[in-house]
Amino acid sequence: MSSLFGILAVARDGVMAQTAALDVTGQNVAGANTPGYVRRTPVLESVTGGGVVMSGAVRSFDRFTYAQLIDQSGRLSSATARATAISDVEALVTPGADHIGDRADALFNAFHELTVHPSDTAVRSAVLSSAEWLASGFAETANGLDAFRGELTTRASDVATEVNQRLNGIATLDKGIIESRGRGEDASDLIDRRDQMVREVADRVGARVVESPNGGITLFGGGTVLYEGGRAAQLDVSLDTNGLLKVQANRNGNLIDITSGIQTGTLAGVKQARDVDIAGLQTSLDAYAKDIADTINAIHVTGFALDGSTGRNLFAPSATVKGAAHAMALDPAMSGHPELLGTASSSTDLPGGNDIAVKLADLARNPINGGSTASERYAAIASGVGQLRTTTDSEEAMRQDTVATATALRESASGVSTDEEMIHLQQYQRAFEASTRVLSTINALFDSVLSIIR
């Protein structure tokens, strides 16, 4: 049979246990909207002789849903980075007006006017102006793409810096977690912060986590170990000999090329947009610039100018396809000399001969080098960019859905439901009040006993 002192101890333990449980519930409510917070569940256990104690709090952590979330988050970050880049590229290559296609049409219209007035200086000057306008369109677009690739290079370096900062933070937290658990202390807050940093790393370069028995983790990313045993790798972004992004991980002084291993995360999206999508667009633009310039030059070089000379190019020739758009310009000998335009097929037809001007004007509907008309070539480039924009936007939308699903699964397993916590608060509050009522009753009984003894 329990004594009054025994009942008093049971009530005391009940008050302390319910107070501790209320504290855990309060933490859950406070952390409900905190990124990375994992719900805690108080563990109440009975003790020998009656009573109850809170032996600790368990994190409601589900490793599978967490792994799914960081994987899908990395894929969404990659899709978002790529879609954002392509959106900017589309605005650069296909502006609402005065794009390369419009400028090519303007030049062919000027050629047509030249067929009607081959000796008119004003018409000839208009042709040169249109040719310069087209050349500057190619050069401006090429320069814009180069500049944007440079911005993406900077963005890639920034991402690497952000990853390095978080890897260092993970190293510090991981050490603290191992030490706290070794002392038997609760490390839930540290683990939450570490898991959140792991997700931030995954958002940038992709990541996979393996937990050790002592509570520490090994973090993989980019096909290598990014963190293990208190040592964090450091990422470095540079350009290789071909001007493509090169990502290296410095592990204890050893440089490891992980470029091919970067498959998800912001860095993967930046790399895909910079080195595949934009690089491919630059190749198409260079080929278009060279083909249209070479086709026009091949005709113009056969024409005779008003002074009877021949053999001149309208555009400065490009020896290679690579860089042709960037270098496209009016031939220096033609600049400011409309009289040098070759419009006649023979010097005897001057000044009214227009055979060559007609051939130049016919390029508006005839194929240029490469097998399509100039308008069709530009339309193909613009269409390709548009299709790429649609594809990347669709990929981003799909990844947003998968992340939403993964987030919902993670929240169901580890997130805080304020409705459930309010129920728990009421339960622990009532248990606390009941325990204090027992204490009050025992106190009254002691007073009665003492009054009898006196």
Query: Are residues 183 and 202 located together in one domain of the fold?
Result: yes
Average pLDDT over residues 172-188: 91
Query: Are residues 218 and 235 located together in one domain of the fold?
Result: yes
Query: Are residues 13 and 24 located together in one domain of the fold?
Result: yes
CB crowding 222-231: b at 16 or more within 10 Å, else e: beebbbbeee
In a domain, 326, yes or no: yes
In a domain, 406, yes or no: no
CB crowding 355-375: b at 16 or more within 10 Å, else e: bbbbbbbebbeeebbbeebbb
Of 23, 14, 25, which Cα lies nearest the Cα of 422? 25
Q: What is the pLDDT of residues 61-89, one digit of tens each?
A: 888 899 999 999 999 999 999 999 999 99
Confidence of residue 173 (pLDDT cuts 50, 70, 90): very high
Query: Are residues 184 and 113 located together in one domain of the fold?
Result: no
Count of CA atoms in the C-beta half-sphere (13 A) of 162 = 18
In a domain, 435, yes or no: yes
In a domain, 357, yes or no: yes
Q: What's the structural domain count of the chain?
A: 3
Q: Give the pLDDT score at 15.
A: 81
In a domain, 35, yes or no: yes
Query: Are residues 292 and 243 located together in one domain of the fold?
Result: no
Query: Are residues 207 and 309 located together in one domain of the fold?
Result: no
Q: What is the pLDDT of residues 348-377, one digit of tens each?
A: 889 989 999 999 999 999 999 988 999 999
pLDDT exceeds 80 at position 143: yes
In a domain, 384, yes or no: yes
* Domain boundary, last residue among 222, 241, 263: 263
Query: Are residues 35 and 51 located together in one domain of the fold?
Result: yes
pLDDT-above-70 percentage for the chain: 98
Query: Are residues 175 and 214 located together in one domain of the fold?
Result: yes
In a domain, 411, yes or no: no
Confidence of residue 159 (pLDDT cuts 50, 70, 90): very high
Confidence of residue 1 (pLDDT cuts 50, 70, 90): very low
Query: Are residues 290 and 380 located together in one domain of the fold?
Result: yes
* Domain boundary, last residue among 370, 389, 408: 389
Q: Give the pLDDT score at 33.
A: 86
- Choose between 95 and 274: higher pLDDT: 274
Query: Are residues 122 and 179 located together in one domain of the fold?
Result: no
Query: Are residues 167 and 186 located together in one domain of the fold?
Result: yes
Query: Are residues 199 and 211 located together in one domain of the fold?
Result: yes
Q: What is 136-205 written as a DSSP string? A: HHHHHHHHHHHHHHHHHHHHHHHHHHHHHHHHHHHHHHHHHHHHHHHTT---HHHHHHHHHHHHHHHHHH
In a domain, 405, yes or no: no
SS3 for 81-92 is HHHHHHHHHHHH
Of 333, 332, 356, 341, which Cα lies nearest the Cα of 119? 341
* Domain boundary, last residue among 389, 404, 424: 389
Instruction: State which residues form the domain around 242.
Output: 66-89+157-263
pTM of the model: 0.85
Q: Give the pLDDT score at 454.
A: 62
